[in-house]
Amino acid sequence: MSVRVRFAPSNTGHLHMGSVRTALFNYLFARNQGGEFILRIEDTDRERSRDEYTESIIEAMQWLDMEPDEGPILQSERFDLYDEKVESLLQSGHAYRCYCTPEELEAQREQALAEGRKPKYSGKCRDLDDTPDDEAHTVRIKMPTEGSITIDDLVQGEVTVSVEELDDFIIRRTDGVPTYNFVVVVDDSDMDITHVIRGDDHLNNTFRQIPVYRALGVEPPTFAHLPLLAGLSKRKGSAGVQHYRDRGYLPEALINYLSRLGWSHGDQELFSREELVEYFGFDSVGKSPSNFDEDKLNWVNSEWMKRLDPSDLARRWVPFLEDKGFDVEFDERLAEIAEMMRDRAQTLVEMADVSAYFFSDDFEYDDSAVEKWMDPDHRPALEALIEGLEALEEWSGDAIGSLYRSVGKEHGLGLAKLAQPTRISLTGSTTSPSVFDLVAAFDRDEATSRLRRGLQLLDE
């Protein structure tokens, strides 16, 4: 039977980094096994579910290049199926109608707590003879009363729970809405899911779900419960995919970074998508929680910025430059600037910050650099340089380099004496990439007019 996995987020918020890691392990496992990856939106929570979050989740999955083979399938469109399954469990005697009122249940709960027992449904309605359908009721599943339940989890290993821990939980509420632990089983069996891969916060649910599979007469799937991620910001929305996208992270880097939270392949840190698909397996997924470490993510992102083709990088950079108010379009020159500046930043936002002087001449000059390098005695050499640039036949880093060397020689000045005033004039400071490439990255008029403006600093 071919592998089928699903990622089943609730649409009660934006897609969170922890959920992306769950989605990713599902996706990688499916691709590694040549199986199918299904997206199911768990939108039965009438109070908290929102269509805008469904859209946001789909958008995030597209941006991360993890589009499902099937779906999104919405649980809210499947109530007929859930009702049909509830009815069949009632018929077969695996479920029963419960008429206990919320007040009664609360009183039972308090009594249990007062007697030092774990609160559990009493089973009062389990064996009623008269079970009218037209009186307010919930439907409960009959849990086994003896023995234990064991799963052989791909990550957690063998885990056993005594059935005493479980009670006859509600599968359909009084208002007709089925509950999570029930619909998840109906869906996973209806969709022929072979492997349920999700956070280990669901481990307790799994023991409730297994008797439901059995009651429905189907074999439970294989489970893999992933340790949760620690260290993610709890501020609303701040651990969401779009928040990272807007802060200038690349999808390749997020995927690469998240893949390593809980999974490893020797000590390799950087992986292409193809490598992840090829190497991924649960043998190398660990049980202990991993920490979401933004410094490490920054490093992975900076590595991915270096890996991308400069034109590709520049195209992705444009919106970040626009956000800073620069009027730019993708062209070859932008690709050159991106290639030159990518070593100096860890995100696309930072790269826009450190590259601002390419797009605007509205910058401050660094006083101490001006003091140190803008020497009035060098005016003739700097003027010769500007004239040389104006007359240069070919506007390239190489041609500009030879011009600098010959002007330096003529005026008896070392290269730094020309290079540093150039940097200050073009960028405001002496920190910048190789000076010839820097000059070449401006168009000629812009470079020479900034250099002329810089000459005024000689008199200050």
Closer to ligand GLU by Cβ: residue 220 or 408: 220
> Which amino acid does the sequence have at 198?
R
Q: How far is the CB of 201 from ligand GLU (least distance, A)?
A: 7
What would the x/- binding string for ligand GLU be over residues 130 to 169, using CB under 6 A? ----------------------------------------
Closer to ligand GLU by Cβ: residue 10 or 448: 10
Of the candidates 118, 234, 236, 409, the residue annotated as catalytic is 234
- Verify cis geometry, omega within 30 degrees of 0, for the bond prior to 227: no
CB neighbour list of residue 66: distance below 8 Å, 6 or more residues apart: 23, 24, 27, 37, 255
Single residue of 120, 126, 142, 202 touching ligand GLU by CB under 6 A: 202
Closer to ligand GLU by Cβ: residue 210 or 386: 210
Paired tokens of 254 = 């997020």
Q: Which residues pair with 158 in a beta bridge?
A: 152
Closer to ligand GLU by Cβ: residue 191 or 455: 191
> 251-259 and 17-32 are packed helices; what angle lies between their axes, rounded to 10 degrees?
80
Inter-CA distances, 11 with 38, 48, 50, 85, 238, Å: 16, 8, 6, 24, 16
- Contact between 9 and ligand GLU by CB under 6 A: the answer reads yes
Single residue of 4, 10, 250, 451 touching ligand GLU by CB under 6 A: 10
Whole-angstrom distance, CA of residue 72 vs CA of residue 54: 9
Q: How far is the CB of 86 from ligand GLU (least distance, A)?
A: 19
Paired tokens of 189 = 């069996």
Closer to ligand GLU by Cβ: residue 8 or 73: 8
What would the x/- binding string for ligand GLU be over residues 39 to 58, using CB under 6 A? ---x----------------
Q: What angle do CA 4, 9, 12 make, to 5 degrees?
A: 165
Q: How far is the CB of 22 from ligand GLU (least distance, A)?
A: 7
Paired tokens of 342 = 């990518």
Whole-angstrom distance, CA of residue 328 vs CA of residue 348: 15
158 Rama class: left (phi>0) / alpha (psi -120 to 50) / beta: beta
# residues contacting ligand GLU (CB under 6 A): 7
Closer to ligand GLU by Cβ: residue 26 or 302: 26
Q: Which helix (H) or strand (E) holds 299?
A: helix 294-307
Whole-angstrom distance, CA of residue 70 vs CA of residue 239: 26
Q: How far is the CB of 288 from ligand GLU (least distance, A)?
A: 20
- Contact between 177 and ligand GLU by CB under 6 A: the answer reads no
Paired tokens of 331 = 């062209």
Closer to ligand GLU by Cβ: residue 54 or 346: 54
Find the part of the chain contacting ligand GLU (CB under 6 A) among 5-13, 99-107, 219-227, 446-454: 5-13
Closer to ligand GLU by Cβ: residue 202 or 315: 202
Phi then psi dihedrals of residue 139, to 5 deg: -115, 130
Contact 45, 178 (CB under 8 A): no
**SS3 assignment, position 223:** strand
Paired tokens of 231 = 């260290």
- Contact between 8 and ligand GLU by CB under 6 A: the answer reads yes
Q: How far is the CB of 184 from ligand GLU (least distance, A)?
A: 5
Whole-angstrom distance, CA of residue 43 vs CA of residue 71: 14
Whole-angstrom distance, CA of residue 254 vs CA of residue 301: 7
**SS3 assignment, position 32:** helix
Single residue of 85, 198, 208, 260 touching ligand GLU by CB under 6 A: 198
Closer to ligand GLU by Cβ: residue 181 or 430: 181
- Contact between 16 and ligand GLU by CB under 6 A: the answer reads no
Single residue of 5, 73, 183, 184 touching ligand GLU by CB under 6 A: 184
Find the part of the chain contacting ligand GLU (CB under 6 A) among 3-11, 31-39, 330-338, 444-452: 3-11
Number of Cβ within a 10 Å radius of residue 296: 14
Q: How far is the CB of 239 from ligand GLU (least distance, A)?
A: 14
Paired tokens of 79 = 């109530």
Find the part of the chain contacting ligand GLU (CB under 6 A) among 7-15, 110-118, 315-323, 355-363: 7-15
Find the part of the chain contacting ligand GLU (CB under 6 A) among 4-12, 87-95, 157-165, 171-179: 4-12
Q: How far is the CB of 7 from ligand GLU (least distance, A)?
A: 7
Q: How far is the CB of 431 from ligand GLU (least distance, A)?
A: 46
Whole-angstrom distance, CA of residue 280 vs CA of residue 259: 9
Contact 410, 399 (CB under 8 A): no
Q: Does 234 participate in catalysis according to the annotation?
A: yes
Find the part of the chain contacting ligand GLU (CB under 6 A) among 2-10, 99-107, 136-144, 328-336: 2-10
Q: How far is the CB of 318 from ligand GLU (least distance, A)?
A: 34
Could you list the residues that contact ligand GLU (CB under 6 A)?
8-10, 42, 184, 198, 202
Active site amino acids: 234
